[in-house]
Amino acid sequence: MNYRKNLFFSILLAMIITGISFAGGTKESTSGQKEKQPVKLSALFMKQASYSEQDVRNMTAEFEKENPLIGISLEFVSYEALHDKIIAAAASGSGYDVILIDVIWPAEFATQGILRDITKEIPKSMIDKVFSGAWDTVLYKDRYYGIPWILDTEYLFYNKEMLKKAGISAPPKTLNDLADQAKIIKNKGIVKYPIIWAWQQSENVFLNYVVLVAGFGGSFFDDNGNPLFNSGGGLKALQYMVQSLKDGVSNPASLQAISDDELRVFGSEQAAFALNWTYMYNIANTDSSQSKVVGQVGVEPTPGDGVNVQIASVNGSMGLGITQSSKNPKEALKYIEYLTSSSVEAKYANLSLPMWKSYYEDPSKWPKGQKPLINAAQLSFAKLYNRPMLAHYTQFSTIMQKYLQKALLNQMSPKDALDAAAKEVVQEKANK
């Protein structure tokens, strides 16, 4: 009997020492408090444009240092692979906790149940402190499916030295000015193809088209959802693109180019103009390891036609969302809140400008030499033009990409290409 008592008390003592209670096996600290268990999150980002991969890794390491019980597993893919990677992961049931989403995806991802609605988690004070255009990035039917992170648009970059050699005193103020200045630079033999675009048959070509549609005052659909892009500003935009190739001022390599290719061509002194995102400015203008035009880069808002539109600015923003499949949504939100905080965005503003209004009111926060970019950003962010917010956006964009390329390759006239695209878009909608 004494043996049994001694055995019982020995077991009890051992369980107390190891922190195991009889109540349910919950591990407790020596102070009696429940210990928080480490959490591992998985996050998906893109490789190119905006914050660099190293920037994201540095931000994440700083977050983990402040939150030692939360670890982050990072994965990076190209922008072109990002959408399908998210879809595939959701379908497999082993998706990510945090995903980078483009402004055009919330409608699709919300209706498919991929993204978590976090409207109640976002304080109104934060909404008011951020540019309104940024919130479109994560908004669908008045609900927020994430927090905006990358506020971006395409700017007109130009080589100041090339313009000077051509006797041009100021950068283009209109889209016609851009074409005219490119012809002058070409005719003077300064560079063979003055303009480089991102016209690869992917979202790249559609984005450049959207900027020009905005610049010519066009619209994509009427109030009833009927296509308008095959007339007016939409038609003028594609005619402008095609004519620039015929005139030899746009580099034919644009047809296979993405944003990073634009940076490479412009940075190697093979172009006088490029339409690209925020990240290009500091790389092209300051990084001699990647650019031969350091100190020569000018930047302006993309011009419009000068009649109806002065600034053409596409909303290319991106946000961070939490998946429905995440088992740790609270920790995922904590990570997102850290990455999108004003202090972190200001610290890493060399490649992506903050979404916080206060940043633009305090020049002391601006990195050295970035004033021209920030001045252009302030004007552009106030004129952000959204791509159509459609639940079937991916199918719509794919149709547009196909027919834009057909026109650029002279396989169809701009009018015939856009008419065919409009017909197919209507059929696609009817099949839904």
Band (pLDDT 50/70/90 cuts) for residue 93 is: confident
pLDDT in tens, 102-155: 999 999 999 999 999 999 999 888 999 998 889 999 999 999 999 999 989 999
Do 406 and 374 lie in one domain? The reply is: no
Do 257 and 362 lie in one domain? The reply is: no
> pLDDT at residue 76 above 50?
yes
> pLDDT at residue 92 above 90?
no
Q: Is 215 a member of any domain?
A: yes
Q: Is 125 a member of any domain?
A: yes
pLDDT in tens, 7-16: 444 444 444 3
Q: Is 33 a member of any domain?
A: no
pLDDT in tens, 27-71: 444 444 456 789 999 999 998 767 899 999 999 999 999 999 999
Q: Is 331 a member of any domain?
A: yes
Query: Looking at residue 34, what is its pLDDT?
Result: 55
User: For the domain that residue 357 is a member of, what is the CATH number?
Assistant: 3.40.190.10
**59 φ, ψ (degrees, to nearest 5):** -55, -45
pLDDT in tens, 355-405: 999 999 888 888 888 899 999 998 998 888 999 988 889 899 999 999 999
Decide which of 385, 400, 415 is a domain's last residue.
385
Query: Looking at residue 125, what is its pLDDT?
Result: 87
Do 119 and 173 lie in one domain? The reply is: no
Do 87 and 179 lie in one domain? The reply is: no
Q: Is 247 a member of any domain?
A: yes
pLDDT in tens, 333-350: 999 999 999 999 999 988
Do 160 and 80 lie in one domain? The reply is: no
| % of the chain surpassing 70 pLDDT | 91
- Structural domain including 172 reads 155-314+392-431
Do 183 and 194 lie in one domain? The reply is: yes
Do 168 and 268 lie in one domain? The reply is: yes
Q: Is 12 a member of any domain?
A: no
Query: Looking at residue 258, what is its pLDDT?
Result: 94
Do 182 and 80 lie in one domain? The reply is: no
Q: Is 21 a member of any domain?
A: no
Do 241 and 323 lie in one domain? The reply is: no
Do 290 and 406 lie in one domain? The reply is: yes
